[in-house]
Amino acid sequence: MTKKYFGTDGIRGEVGKPPITADFLLKLGWAAGKVFANAGNDFVLVGKDTRISGYMFESALEAGLTAAGVDTRLLGPMPTPGIAYLTRTLRAQAGIVISASHNPYYDNGIKFFSVHGTKLPDETENQIESYLEAPMTTVTSSKLGKAKRLSDAAGRYIEFCKASVPTRLDFGGMKIIVDCAHGATYHIAPHVFSEVGAEVIAIGIEPNGLNINEDCGATKPAQLAASVLANNADFGIALDGDGDRLIMVDHKGEVVDGDELIYIIAKSRIASGQMAGPVVGTLMSNLGMEHGLKSVGLNLLRAKVGDRYVMEMLSEHKGILGGENSGHIICLDRTTTGDGIIAALQVMAEMQCSGKSLHELKSGMQKYPQILINVKTTKKVDPDNNESIKKAVKALEAKLGEQGRVLLRASGTEPLIRVMVEGQQRELVENYALQLADEVKKAIDA
């Protein structure tokens, strides 16, 4: 069944434009409520990030769930992985996240978690979509759902994060900068890292509804790098607006991306005898990570881009570690979904156990230069079915041979074609990427 609304990461778009409107979210809450009510569990959790439209959509979802006869527990601002954790441990029927992750404030979206703290199966999403096509009804007044706020949600999640590393580890002496992107981790991440002993300087902790991800966080770590250098910190941690992405910065101000962090965690798991299965990356994962993992005896499997597909492949191959170079890192031996705070703690644990700096730990993996260019589109284009684009890609692949890769894909969340070229020589790779992006733009305009 082809889905009309659900993408690879829920439903997302610009606020005020279908489907991200108050009336649609009311209907979505009702449709989800009908599905979850049929399953018979007591309540659904609803959390959000800090963007201003979250207030409106929280109310709309609550009304829809109530009309369907489902009780709601409102969490307020909470990281996406925190909602996954609470859904599982509180035995909620489902968790609903109001967030557009790393997108600007004027976007928003909805993500769902199952009772197990994982993404909803396709079957459940299809059931929700079928109700979206049906007339909305309201249960009798005696069966209406009730809503209340859960006051201790943040504290529960903080303790869970801290428990993901051994209590014997003392992070005292580590001076770190934590950038919360003015997002959902602003009142959580600084507490986690300071309570495990680190000296924390927190930035990006003043959300006003409009500044989420603005020139900060995991997608824009320049401010964090400058702060690390200015404060002579040991390293920096950058989270995105909903807390499921992690990018770090070493003491030299150099960015350490998701591929390098996954490599570090993988080596740590090997050293402690806890590694299981292959590592799962994506089509965007750097060749350097593949070669680095191979040097320590691990295979890299490549899933389609999107943490949903990484999770599916991890499950299929019984792996515990995977993620994306953008910073989605999944440690299934610690939690059920991508979690920026927990991933950062795993890296810190390896620093403490090995006695090495972040800069030293990442040096075991040599990244290939990888250039990514986003080509904006005004209409839906499938690069795999466009003959002129396919011809340009084939010609470039012939030039690169075994020393590089080319990847084109349509974004699942934004109107973009992502053009990626990877190879050994940066200047050459940059030129190839620009040339290919130009060809893609010409093909779209035609």
Q: Which residues are catalytic?
A: 101
Distance CA 338, CA 340 (A): 7
Q: Is 122 left (phi over 0), alpha (psi -120 to 50) or beta?
A: alpha
Reported as half-sphere exposure (CB side, CA atoms, 13 A), residue 128 has a value of: 28
SS3 label, residue 407? strand
DSSP state of 67: H
User: What are 369's two structure tokens?
Assistant: 């230069």
DSSP string, 142-184: GG---EEE-TTHHHHHHHHHHTTS-TT---TT-EEEEE-TTST
Residues 6+ apart with CB under 8 A from 403: 423, 424
Q: Tell me how many helices (H) and strands (E) the chain has.
A: 14, 18
SS3 label, residue 329? strand
Distance CA 89, CA 339 (A): 16
| Among candidate residues 21, 428, 62, the one with its CA nearest the CA of residue 436 | 428
R_g of the chain, CA atoms, integer Å: 22
Q: 340-354 and 80-89 helices cross at what angle (nearest 10)?
A: 100
Which stretches of 222-302 are DSSP H helices?
Answer: 222-230, 258-271, 287-295
CB-based contact 195:225 (threshold 8 Å): no
User: What are 391's two structure tokens?
Assistant: 């011809």
Q: Which residues pair with 175 in a beta bridge?
A: 199
User: Which long-range CB contacts under 8 A does 132-141 form with residues at least 24 apart?
Assistant: 132/4, 132/5, 132/27, 132/28, 132/31, 134/31, 136/26, 136/27, 136/30, 136/64, 136/67, 137/67, 138/67, 139/67, 139/68, 139/69
